[in-house]
Amino acid sequence: MNDGPYRTSRDSLGDVHVPEEAYYGPQTQRAVQNFPISGLRLPRRFIKAQGQIKGAAAYAHAKLGVLDERLAQAIGQAAEEVAEGRWDAQFVVDVYQAGAGTSQNMNANEVIANRALELLGEPKDKKDVIHPNDHVNKSQSTNDTIPTAIYLSAYDALEEELLPSLKRLIEALREKAKEFHPIVKSGRTHLQDAVPIRLGQEFSGYVHTLEPIVGQVEQVQDRLLAIGIGGNAVGTGVNLPPGYIPAFLEELRRLTGRGWRQPASRFAFMQNPSGALEASSVLRNLAVHLMKITSDLRLLASGPNTGLAEIVLPAVQPGSSIMPGKVNPVLPEMMYMVGSQVIGNDTAIQTAMLGSQLEINVMMPVIAHNLLQSVTILANAMDAFSSKCVQGIQANEEKCAYWMEQSLSLVTMLNPVIGYDRAAELAKQAVKTGRPLKEIVLEAGVVTPEQWQELIDRSTEEH
């Protein structure tokens, strides 16, 4: 409990000491005392969504004539202030809290109620004027507002954070694919020599790996627009005034500028916040692909004197506390760690989804936390990776040519000319003598130097 001045507030369980300056009330204070777990709070975007939901509800009730206009305007203004971030410090409930997010919902209800009372010139906790449950939470339940807040905040995070960062990374890789197209190098499969490939073709693979994910994100965004607000406790809409759901959606669309709509089934929405699961799976897939790409870059840049060294990554900071002059691939390493966290978050979300029994999922706060964290760290990581690493990558053309000429798999190009068996004999001779394959082939007279170069050029043409 806060050691400073406090006021005595009351809920259905009795009296609670609440810090005097706090806008939250007794149910929030109980949650603070009951769940001193991680120190983590649900993020700004989620609180913004809670404010938007409460504001839309108040304005809808005023429009329907079931809430006094004066009270509705005060609640609406307080809710909009919450959405704007003015009262973030008053949202103090740990991520690991009461099931379904009841404490989080009541945190919003109490803050908005007390701020609305202040706007009306009334003291805090004057529940006979504005009650957190009867007025701010009117026509709502934790069970429909919390999954709705997940959908609202996830949509905005994908739209404003993830998609711009992903598109910037794709464009940076596309530019490198164009820049590196003239450079022919050795391909590698199973980490062994393979036929030639252009460095630009290798990078174009990264571009076309990531491009479809843009569409996948947009597809899941459309899924997130279907919100089951009005389902109330179990999906039936108990205690809703007639016309509430369309009025609410109209107000929410006005407040957010998004095309929110009703789902096919409020019962399915409340039993399983599946849109969050689908969004997380897209983020997991993105993380897996980013980890592959960054692992490739680490291999291609390995060295500089004892590795492949076909590309040079920008040097952004010293790499060792003991080895002078060492520079490490820190941006790709960072991205790999972020990807690992996102995969872990997705596993946590999948596990939390199993917490759906009967009418609701009771693990929604941890779903919200992990989903929004995944979006934020992926977006930030991609921006740092593209601007501080990808844009500055340089090709080591000499090294690319050197390794290509050392590759035994160049012999594959001779198959149509001299057949598999004869080509294999030349490859074995190169291995036995330790001489480059090109020397052995030209010495054998099976092709001229010009034909050899033509075979290399033709091998990297896309058919």
Q: List active site positions.
A: 190, 320
Residue 242 DSSP one-character state: T
Query: Contact at 8 Å (CB) between 432 and 354?
Result: no
Residues contacting 40, CB < 8 A, separation 6+ = 94, 95, 96, 369
Instruction: State CA 325 to chain mean position distance.
Output: 35
CA angle 400, 450, 398 (to 5 degrees): 15
What angle, 0 to 180 degrees and rounded to 10, lies between the N-to-C axes of helices 102-119 and 26-34? Answer: 140
Residue holding tokens 């779903």?
A: 367
Q: How far is CA 303 from the centre of its chain?
A: 32
- Please, are residues 215 and 166 in contact by the beta-carbon 8 Å criterion? no
Phi-psi region of 65 (alpha: psi -120 to 50; beta: other; left: phi over 0): left
Nearest to 142 by CA among 96, 84, 103: 103
Triad 68, 71, 77: Cα angle to 5°: 135
Cα separation of 21 and 7, whole Å? 9
Question: How far, in Å, CA of 64 to CA of 47, rounded?
Answer: 26
Place of tokens 């004057």: 126
Ordered DSSP codes for 47-77: HHHHHHHHHHHHHHHHHHTSS-HHHHHHHHH
A 10 A CB-CB count for 351 gives 13
